[in-house]
């Protein structure tokens, strides 16, 4: 369980997060969404104690995160940050092996159990064949798989990801988020793509200027009214293959009607008269 209650965070005299709350239970995938500058990354960093809040409480399994130190925090929480050095002169296996550091004493050699955990993690993300490759030579999608494998080797029950789909093509975006959803751990993920958030998150928290403006299931949070207020854009909601997806219209186009509709997958074929546009992403 990850919980945040009335959390406020600031830099110098500027308040970036103002009274934000969140609750992520076992196996849930909670998405943090919102426009640039809304405070998503700042809030995520507060969840793993990289930043200390001015007010409010962040807890991991009901323990204040500020009381968890060093290896203990690393055993409980795994983080895939937005920027990870990609030119490290290490193999994929060595990169994943770093996830075992919280489970060994300082300067102690890695054990057979550590190497078995690495092999199991790489197998689980479908990257066992990459073990001997140099990490720097991998594609963006492969690197993200390896970083997720590192968190699996870490054996943490809580996973925090900051825009993990950045720089990935559409196939790898879907594959990565589908895989994350199947891990069965408590997950909080920052996403920009609202259609990916709608498809793969169980709960969404929408931030704007450091405050929560909508939250709940994707259907509850991604309302046309909330999206128009936050993003200044008209939205049509459709159901594709049982999943909520959004179609975006030009910003505040005069005469645009906001409505909801349902359609089957067969309605999305060329020439079907579907209102769907490039705003819909499907695997």
Instruction: Say which CATH number the domain at 141 has.
Output: 3.40.50.300
Q: What is the pLDDT of residue 110?
A: 85
- Domain edge (last residue) among 222, 247, 263: 222
Both tokens of 12, joined, read 């110098």
Q: What is the pLDDT of residue 280?
A: 39
- Total domains, the chain: 2
Q: What is the pLDDT of residue 257?
A: 41
Residues 102 and 7 in one domain: yes
Backbone angles phi, psi at 248, to 5 degrees: -100, 140
Residues 63 and 195 in one domain: yes
Residues 180 and 240 in one domain: no
- Domain edge (last residue) among 222, 239, 271: 222
Residues 181 and 234 in one domain: no
Residues 98 and 142 in one domain: yes
Residues 23 and 161 in one domain: yes
Residues 196 and 254 in one domain: no
Q: What is the pLDDT of residue 55?
A: 96
Q: What is the pLDDT of residue 251?
A: 65
Residues 269 and 171 in one domain: no
- Domain edge (last residue) among 222, 245, 275: 222
User: Which domain covers residue 26, as residue numbers?
Assistant: 2-222
Q: What is the 3-state secondary structure (H, E, C) of the chain?
A: CEEEEEEEEEECCEEEEEEEEEEECCCCEEEEECCCCCCHHHHHHHHCCCCCCCEEEEEECCEEHHHCCHHHHHHHEEEECCCCCCCCCCEHHHHHHHHHHHHCCCCCCCCHHHHHHHHHHHHHCCCHHHCCCEHHHCCHHHHHHHHHHHHHHHCCCEEEEECCCCCCCHHHHHHHHHHHHCCCCEEEEECCCHHHHHHHCCEEEEEECCEEEEEECHHHHCCHHHHHHHHCCCEEEEEECCEEEEEECCCCCCCCCCCECCCCHHHHCCCCCCCCCCCCCCC
Answer whether 237's CB lies under 8 Å from 230's CB. no
CA neighbor of 143 nearest in space, from 83, 76, 75: 83
Residues 127 and 33 in one domain: yes
Residues 178 and 229 in one domain: no
At CB < 8 A and 24+ separation, what contacts does 61-70 make? Answer: 61/1, 62/1, 62/3
Residues 156 and 81 in one domain: yes
Model-level pTM greater than 0.95?
Answer: no
Residues 161 and 172 in one domain: yes
The one-digit pLDDT tens for each residue of the chain (283 residues) are 999 999 999 988 889 999 999 999 999 999 999 999 999 999 999 999 999 999 999 999 999 999 998 888 988 999 998 766 667 789 999 999 999 988 877 777 889 999 999 999 999 888 999 999 999 999 888 888 899 899 889 988 999 999 998 878 898 899 889 999 998 999 999 999 999 999 999 999 999 999 999 999 999 999 999 999 999 999 999 999 899 999 998 765 554 444 444 333 333 333 333 333 334 333 4
Q: What is the pLDDT of residue 83?
A: 66
């Amino acid at each position: 369980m990850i919980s945040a209650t009335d959390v406020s965070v600031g830099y110098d005299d500027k308040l970036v997060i103002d009274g934000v709350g969140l609750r992520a239970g076992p196996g849930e995938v909670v998405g943090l969404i919102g426009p640039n500058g809304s405070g998503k990354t700042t809030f995520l960093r507060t969840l793993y104690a990289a930043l200390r809040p001015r007010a409010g409480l962040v807890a991991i399994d009901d323990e204040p995160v500020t009381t968890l130190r060093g290896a203990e925090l690393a055993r409980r929480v795994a983080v895939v940050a937005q920027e990870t050095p990609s030119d490290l002169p290490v193999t994929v296996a060595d990169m994943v092996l770093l996830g075992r550091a919280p489970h060994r004493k300082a300067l102690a050699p890695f054990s057979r159990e550590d190497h078995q955990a690495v092999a199991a993690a790489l197998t689980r993300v479908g990257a066992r064949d990459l073990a001997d490759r140099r990490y720097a030579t991998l594609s963006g999608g492969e690197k993200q798989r390896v970083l997720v494998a590192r968190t699996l080797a870490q054996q943490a029950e809580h996973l925090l990801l900051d825009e993990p789909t950045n720089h990935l093509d559409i196939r790898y975006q879907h594959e990565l988020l589908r895989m994350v959803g199947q891990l069965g751990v408590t997950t909080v993920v920052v996403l920009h793509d609202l259609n990916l958030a709608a498809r793969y998150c169980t709960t969404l928290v929408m931030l704007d200027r450091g405050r929560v403006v909508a939250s709940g299931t994707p259907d509850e949070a991604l309302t046309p009214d909330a999206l128009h207020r936050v993003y200044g854009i008209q939205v049509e909601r459709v159901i594709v293959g049982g999943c909520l997806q959004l179609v975006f219209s030009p910003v505040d186009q005069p005469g645009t009607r906001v409505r909801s509709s349902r359609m089957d997958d067969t309605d999305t074929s060329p020439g079907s008269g579907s209102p769907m546009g490039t705003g819909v992403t499907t695997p």
